[in-house]
Structure 1
Amino acid sequence: MTRKLIALDLDGTTLNNEATLSKKTVATLKSAVKAGHVVSIVTGRPNRLSQGYYDQLGLTSPMINFNGSLGHMPHKHWQDEYQYTFDRDIVLDLLKHQQEFNIQLIAAEGKHLFLAHQTAATQVGFFPTVLTHDQQLSPATLTQNPTSMTIAVDRPLQKRLQAYIENRFGSSVDVAPWGGPNSVLEVCAKGVQKAVGVERLANYYHIDQQNVIAFGDEHNDKEMIEYAGRGVAMSNATDQLKAIADDVTQLNNDQDGMAEYLSKALKLA
């Protein structure tokens, strides 16, 4: 069988609703690798919050984090590692306008960077509720350009803040709201999304675009689903994603929908 590149979103796709990997998912992905296919995590999550899954799956492929902005091989040097960043001044500008937009949290992240400034306790799951001393974001501590900035903002002010960032810095960054219940904006380098990372993986492994299978459930998976020879939306995916996907899983992420679909598609024992 032709070697495939399998690009996997994590939340709402590979992970169940408890944000864990089921036994079936682990077994299926391990047998896909054993059959000679390349399995790669392609997630919006930072590397600090996805490496545990990578290790649990026993992967040795590169991992794509921050929606395509970082590509690296955990635990080892990869000569094709890359990281897209944007000017730290954009973060510092938003720190100054924190009160005006009622911003509860600003986090600046990169492969080896995690700094945040909180004005109120937020219920955004990806961030520690209490920041340690060396995680405090300020003009003094942010000495490098970040790969990603995440902003938790009052819902009524979200669109206004997005417009502010786009009008001021739109030539160098893209801004996108998160799906789901949290009012969060994510900022990354202009033109970078998951398909950027998937294309790099396909080139690295010399796998044709038509032999890429990608799974996702949210708007940040759109370009990856469009890029893949077979873009598969989860049954729990947004209607917009289902509309552009080549196929939709029968079962959702809490029913091993991806694993079920993949074992049939690859004829895994």
Structure 2
Amino acid sequence: MGDDFMKRKLITIDLDGTTLNSESKISPKTKQTLQKVGQAGHIVSIVTGRPYRISKHIYDELGIKTPLINFNGALGHLPHQSWDKEYSKTFSKKIALDLVSAKDELGIKLITAEGKNYALADKASEIIKDFFPSSLKSTEILNKINLQQDPSAMTMLVDENKKSEIITSLENTFGDTINVSVWGGEHPILELSPKGVSKADGLEFLSNIYDINREDIIAFGDEQNDETMIEYAGLGIVMQNGTDKLKSIADDITEFDNNHDGLAKHLEKILKLD
């Protein structure tokens, strides 16, 4: 790898299944290693599908000061401050309202629509802690009065038996302005995002901000939504617990999974932090 490898790197990290263990926590080892990476002069930035509201505490716990990429590349911003380079990609709020009207007919059980500073849902749910709101104020209900801005993302819990029908219907009706993706995991959840937006947009934005070439980006991920990030980075690293499809395009695979500090141990090895 030679000395050239030790040039300043941009390290982009997914959260769930990658930086976080299966209890959605950062281990002390991971936290310490990411801080060492920063002290060595490299840049660490979170690139997640999560909304800002459930990633800010992780950003703060890591103590990083870099831009945060949320909603799989649809939002790039500096937490806790206004920033003239911030960007937000959205789609029409009419789509959200149309889907609320047609939810029973389609087989949608729960809908959320959100942007950087708001999250609205058609009803409260305990189904996935934190992600779907477990209680709603009247101002947080997804309706025409409360939805004043175009969303960056929508998430829907759907009827398992109608999932493929719903995907086809969404793509036929709104496919020119949105992407439809399926979450991994036990629940049948669909996510809508602005057409063509992906985590690679976040990486391109960060590489421009820091004037770092693609070959000097190291990306870590584990799931389908990390695919464009793994492909975009000079070194795309997939977690041991990652999907087989993602591993098939990886430049490297961690020796350990997300419950055994796979990310931290791999960074120590390739950046020679020991």
TM-score norm. by structure 2 comes to: 0.96
1:194 aligns with 2:199: yes
Counterpart of 1:99? 104
- 1:123 aligns with 127
Q: Paired residue for 2:40?
A: 35
Task: Say if 2:131 is the partner of 1:139.
Answer: no
For residues 152-231 of structure 1, the aligned pairs below 5 Å read 152-231=157-236
Aligned: 1:75 with 2:80: yes
Q: CA deviation at 1:62?
A: 0.0
| Residues 15-68 of structure 1 deviation map (CA, whole Å, 9 limit, x = unaligned) | 011100000000000000011100000000000000101001111000000000
Q: Describe the SS at the equivalent of 1:99.
A: helix
Measured in 2, the distance between the counterparts of 1:246 and 1:259 equals: 17
* 1:52-71 alignment runs, 5 A limit: 52-71=57-76
* Farther off after superposition, 134-143 or 248-257: 134-143
Secondary structure, aligned partner of 2:269: helix
Q: Is the 8 A contact 1:108 1:114 kept in 2?
A: yes
State the one-letter code of the partner of 1:127.
F
Counterpart position of 2:241: 236
Of the candidates 22, 44, 52, which is equivalent to residue 47 of structure 1? 52
Q: What is the distance in 2 between the residues matched to 1:128 and 1:94?
A: 18
Q: Does the Cα contact within 8 Å between 2:107 and 2:166 map onto a contact in 1?
A: no
Number of residue pairs the alignment of both structures matches: 268
Which whole-Å CA distance do the structure 2 matches of 1:144 and 1:78 have between them? 20
The Cα of 1:122 is off from its aligned counterpart by 5.2
CA distance in 1, matches of 2:82, 2:103: 38
User: Match of 1:251, as an amino acid?
Assistant: F
Match of 1:2 among 7, 11, 31: 7
CA distance in 2 between counterparts of 1:231 and 1:85 reads 27
- After TM superposition, the runs of 4+ consecutive aligned structure 1 residues lying more than 3 A away are none
Check whether the contact 1:8–1:216 (CA below 8 A) recurs between aligned residues. yes
1:267 aligned residue: 272
1:246 is aligned, of 214, 235, 251, to: 251
Counterpart code for 1:179: G
CA distance in structure 1 between the partners assigned to 2:10 and 2:226 by the alignment? 16
Which residue, 142, 146, 155 being the options, matches 1:150? 155
In structure 2, C-alpha distance between the alignment counterparts of 1:122 and 1:166, rounded to whole Å: 28
Taking structure 1 as the reference length, the TM-score comes to: 0.97
Contact 2:179 2:193 in 1 (8 A): yes
Question: Contact (CA 8 Å) 1:68, 1:192: kept in 2 or not?
Answer: yes
Q: Shift in Å at residue 121 of structure 1?
A: 3.8
1:178-215 deviations in Å (ceiling 9; x for gaps): 11111111001000010100111011101110000000
Of 89, 100, 105, the residue aligned with 2:94 is 89
Q: Which runs of 5+ in 1 are unaligned?
A: none
In structure 1, distance between residues paired with 2:108 and 2:172: 18
Cα RMSD between the aligned structures? Answer: 1.0
Contact 1:12 1:253 in 2 (8 A): yes
What amino acid maps onto 1:38 in structure 2? I
CA contact (8 A) 1:104 1:121 kept: no
Q: Is the CA contact (8 Å cut-off) linking 1:105 and 1:122 kept in structure 2? A: no
